[in-house]
Structure 1
Amino acid sequence: MQVEERLKRAIALRKDDVFLRSEFARFGSPAQLSRAIRQLIAEGVLVKLGLGVFAKAKPSALTGKPIPVQPLEVLAPLVLQKLGVKVGASRAVREYNSGASQQLAAGIVLDTGRRRITRKLGFGKQTVAYESHHA
């Protein structure tokens, strides 16, 4: 399948570790794209992080199953930046870094400023939570 090969080559050449489906639109029709992406996920070239959001994959050292090339803590802010959302450290992380708290937040929490984000991002059992503050 030509679309799949072109997609695989484009992913290999890009420095980005995360991709939005819209970035692949020029490679073919939506149906061709869906088939090609499904095939690349099956081959372990890509992993799905959310609706229309994918990351480069590598085999897990423990299980051999495909996992993202970088941890979700690194990839999630990159995805949001691509979507035009400014991201900062969560309140818990800021308090920990300033010495105001000894507790570090469990899980991945990103501060999205005043933007309310409903997009679900995650991999496996790990998901990203969002923290927004209003005026």
Structure 2
Amino acid sequence: MNTLNSIRRSVANHSDDVFLRGEFNQFGSVAQVGRALRTLMMDGTLVRLRLGLGLGVYANANANANAKAKPSVPTGKPIPVRPLEVLAPQALNKLGVTVMPSRLTQEYNAGRSAQVPASIVFNVGRRRIARKLGFNGKAIQYERA
């Protein structure tokens, strides 16, 4: 079985919504995995979650694989079914970062504020994070406690 089919089968069999590139290293060399991931992105099976440069964090975008993604109504391009607010904490947890709701989100959830937070902000404790996660021009922000 070649690298592309191995990665395709692995994505279909996982219940995760987010995948790191390192999870696919067992299926071949860096170049083979890169080509296979590019092919899966062109097919609409995977979507890359990132802004800027760097190795990717991928979300499943295959509408037939456990209904994890769907085509966008206006553009027809694949988008994840789960919003970025759900996918980003999963990706950060896989990277070893403990994620908590932001101060504004905690105040809204406790009923101390009636203002809904406008942007996606996560409290990452005392850690400094340089990775920028986003999709389709929408990015998450980090709040340090």
Shared fold (TM-score greater than 0.5)? yes
Equivalent residue number for residue 54 of structure 1: 58
Equivalents in 1 of 2:126, 2:135: separation in Å?
Answer: 25
For 1:96, what is the secondary structure of its paired residue? helix
Displacement of 1:56 after TM fit?
A: 0.3
SS at match of 1:74: helix
Q: Distance in 1 between matches of 2:80 and 2:143?
A: 24
Q: Secondary structure at the match of 2:42?
A: helix
Please give the TM-score of this superposition, normalised by the length of structure 1: 0.93
Once the two structures are superposed, residues 56-82 of structure 1 have per-residue CA deviations (whole angstroms, 9 ceiling, x without a partner) of: 013224432110131110000000111
Tell me which residue corresponds to 1:124: 136
TM-score (ref. length: structure 2): 0.87
2:8 maps to a residue whose letter is K
Uncovered stretches (5+) of structure 2, i.e. residues with no partner = 62-68
- Identify the range of structure 1 (11-20 vs 103-112) with the bigger mean alpha-carbon deviation: 103-112
1:112 deviation in Å?
A: 0.4
Structure 1 position 77 matched with structure 2 position 89: yes
Q: Residue 75 of structure 2 corresponds to which residue in structure 1?
A: 63
Percent identity at matched positions? 56
Query: Using the alignment, how far apart are the partners of 2:22 and 2:81 within structure 1?
Result: 21
| Partner SS for 2:47 | strand
Shift of 1:27: 0.6
